[in-house]
Every structure is written in C-alpha cells, then in structure tokens.
Amino acid sequence: MEKEPLITLPWHGHETIESIPALLDDALEIEITLPVNYNHSLFSLLHGGDAPGRVEEIRASGGPELLAKIACVKGLEELSSLIEPLTAAGAKVRVLSPPRIVITLPANAKKQEQLKRDIH
C-alpha cells in the first residue's frame, strides 16, 4: 500500500495528539500546523541565545525528544505524550516557521521504496 507523502493536521490540542499514533503506519511525513501566536514562544525557547532583533525564523530538528522541550510551552504540554510512539517508529522531528511540527518517518520511506522495487 502506498504511503501518504504528507498528512497535514491543524492543531486542535488533545484531538490532534490522539489522532497521530493511528497515522504513523500510513504516512511518510505528518505536519502539525500550529497557530501563529506560538511562533514567538517557540523561537525564544529554541533560539533564545541568538542575537536580539533577529527575524524569528524557527529551524530546529532532532528526534522525538525535541517534543519534550517544546512541551513546556503553555498549550503544547500534551506533545510529550507522543515521544514514546514516535521513538518506537524511528521518527525525526523538525520545528519550523510559520509554527509547525514536521514528523518524518524514515522507516516508512524505506518500506515504500522496497515495495516499489519488489513491484518492478
């Protein structure tokens, strides 16, 4: 079965968090679009030591443990509940501007490539 290249979800708190584990087998990437008002808080948290007055462009990447860091932002606390399932799935996490979280599932990409090779 072909994997969805990108599944985009708007941020609805608990509802969004609950929907993600079921999508882990079906997607190559999952993007959670956050409200724009999170940009400053996330930038300050992830790039706080950068020069003041800099354009607040977020670019952070890592493993699921990055979610533990951003879960300390008010309203995003439940993101920490995704650390375990994303770790088990071998996911990579990026936090970008405009505020969004991109979950990449490299294992799914490898499975899809293998499937394509097997078919041809």
Band of the pLDDT at 92, cuts 50, 70, 90?
A: very high
Residue 47 lies in a domain: yes
Whole-angstrom CA distances from 79 to 53, 82, 115 are: 29, 6, 32
pLDDT digits (tens, 9 = 90+) for 36-72: 999 999 999 998 866 567 788 999 999 999 999 999 9
Mean pLDDT computed over 70-91: 96
Residue 16 lies in a domain: yes
Residue 2 lies in a domain: no
Residue 1 lies in a domain: no
Domain residue limits at 90: 7-119
> What pLDDT, on the 0 to 100 scale, is given for residue 41?
94
Report whether pLDDT(12) > 80.
yes
Work out the mean pLDDT of the chain and round it to a whole number.
88
Q: Please state, in angstroms and rounded to a whole number, the distance separating the CA atoms of residues 17 and 56.
A: 26
> What pLDDT, on the 0 to 100 scale, is given for residue 51?
56
> What pLDDT, on the 0 to 100 scale, is given for residue 33?
98
Total domains present in the chain: 1
Tokens coding 52: 């003041």
Residue 42 lies in a domain: yes
Band of the pLDDT at 113, cuts 50, 70, 90?
A: low
Q: Name, in order, each residue with C-beta under 8 angstroms of 10's C-beta and a sequence gap of 6 or more.
A: 16, 32, 33
Residue 50 lies in a domain: yes
Report whether pLDDT(29) > 80.
yes
Band of the pLDDT at 2, cuts 50, 70, 90?
A: low
